[in-house]
Chain A
């Protein structure tokens, strides 16, 4: 049995269920408690769990990220919310140098079970400093797991997995997805595996790989390719960016021989670049066309509505890339 819930509710339910189960789990961040979350993701948690476990912080990202990591070393399981991941740049030293590397530097003694979560990527008309995708930044670093859910099922099942994971996890949400509803299995023990992609629809002519909100464009483009060009598109939702489910990507590529990646982030050293490299290394002989990347444009995000639209990936750009690799 499944029920329709919003991505926002799925995230909240995941945290609440894990907090009921494990008293060492707590949430910390700006406006998470009394304000009920800047985007209302932590709604109701303060009322249920109290101010010891739902902690409003000052605006002090580097400080509370580091404080969370220290608490994680001590055996707590912090969920650190960044109001948006744009502000995580203030804290990135603590995420990488303290959270991600310490297990290795301690010869396996000092793990840090922590989740850094919040909205990532582009919102709407908020300009360059509030519109950036950090997927490739964090996915670059050994010692981290990086997750980017698309729908409510991903959000709930993967956030629960992230909270239970003994390693530091960066959990990249998308503000524009918070209000959308999707079916999610009922019950409080729905967990998805980290590191496994999901084939959203099967196809035989071309593969499109995406994650988070841009998966919308991939799904819409797949419809158009089928209707207008009779091309059967396989759509892969990565779900996890590190470790990358290379196996699922390569298996699909070997079937379709053509592949397009779609992401909101910049093209240079992006997730699509990594996927293209993996394909070169593992399946070069199976390619019937070069891998193409659909990405955000290589510019800081403009404010003007027309320019912002141009800077972002969209369904049309995905269709064009798919046509190109299919030579239609």
Chain B
């Protein structure tokens, strides 16, 4: 048991398990609906990475803002957005959180402080710094969490944002979710250094590498980072090492890595199974409690899929709305 595990209650443990399981089941159903032709275009699944977003979210407050790139379904569920609205956006329906006009990569929620959902690799990082800038400007105690992948870590604007965030001591938590492949290119083939967290040092940003397959470790590191930021000491960078089980997007056959590698991760490092084993042992979580959660998630997903299938397509008039405010 890690040090931080002691600081969570059994109720917390059950909640984190349920949050991760919901993301996993949501993504599995997304893949199914994609296969059935109900979801179009790009669809990037989060399966395997669940402990990252659930662990980080567990140390945030509702006032904190979250922004990420296009592998965003898990982040939205972790922020408390209605999974029905997210799935209906995937199916391009009027009941989607963007009224069907955004799609998988472009969803937002003012209510839940989720600022997207961005399709341009790395562009969300200056935006996230801007969220933090606004928080500091308004003298709020909130912070922004900006997620990016290991691929985004090579975009120049990421470092422009790091520089300004550190220069102005912005309340910004930057997270590189290193799932080890930027589409089909491994970190070894794209990065001049094996570790990405070291890139914070050049900007005076304290940085750490974390095992992203272990929710307790993610939570502990995130708590430390958040404490640093809330103390007014400026940004913090976490490189969270994780793994995506599926392809980059639905159209990716995944020829750049071996089946054995993927199977080994699934078998030995699954974040949900690992977490379950720990909480069964340390929190005396029972089989019936697990079953109750599984049933609840199953029921939620049934409703979610039903809604996403039955919600109508957007009205034709929606083509010309939401282009400018006040017109």
Contact = CB atoms under 8 A, between A and B. Distances in A.
A107 B98 contact: yes
Contact of B324 (A26, A57, A74, A145): A145
Contacts of A110: 108, 110, 115-116
Contacts of B324: 103, 143, 145, 167
Contact of B115 (A57, A65, A73): A73
Q: Which of B65, B118, B131, B134 has the most CB of A within 10 A?
A: B134
B129 A66 contact: yes
A322 B208 CA distance: 68
A58 B164 contact: yes
Interface string A241-256: 0000000000000000
Contact of B325 (A69, A76, A105, A111): A111
B325 A103 contact: yes
Interface string A51-78: 0100001101011111111111111100
A64 B157 CA distance: 9
Contact of A72 (B96, B101, B130): B130
Given A107-B96, A110-B116, A60 B131 contact: no
A70 B130 contact: yes
Contacts of A64: 126, 160, 164
A94 B120 CA distance: 9
B137 A70 contact: no
Nearest to B67: A70
Interface residues of A, number: 39
Contacts of B125: 66
B322 interface: yes
B276 interface: no
A263 B324 CA distance: 26
Interface string B315-327: 0000001111110
Interface in B136-165: 137-138, 144, 156-157, 160-161, 163-164
Contacts of B167: 58
A104 B110 contact: no
A125 to B, nearest CB: 30
A179 interface: no
A107 B126 contact: no
Contact of A73 (B130, B137, B138): B130
A70 B101 CA distance: 21
Contacts of A93: 120, 123
B123 A102 contact: no
Interface in A157-207: 166-167
A98 B118 CA distance: 8
A109 interface: yes
Nearest to A72: B130
B31 interface: no
Contacts of A76: 133-134, 137-138
B322 A107 contact: yes
Interface string A103-123: 111111111000000000000
26 contacts: A26-B137, A52-B137, A58-B163, A63-B157, A63-B160, A66-B129, A66-B130, A67-B126, A69-B126, A70-B128, A70-B129, A70-B131, A70-B134, A71-B130, A72-B130, A93-B120, A97-B118, A104-B322, A105-B102, A105-B117, A106-B116, A107-B99, A107-B322, A108-B322, A109-B108, A109-B109
Interface of B: 65, 67, 96-102, 106-110, 115-120, 123, 125-135, 137-138, 144, 156-157, 160-161, 163-164, 167, 321-326
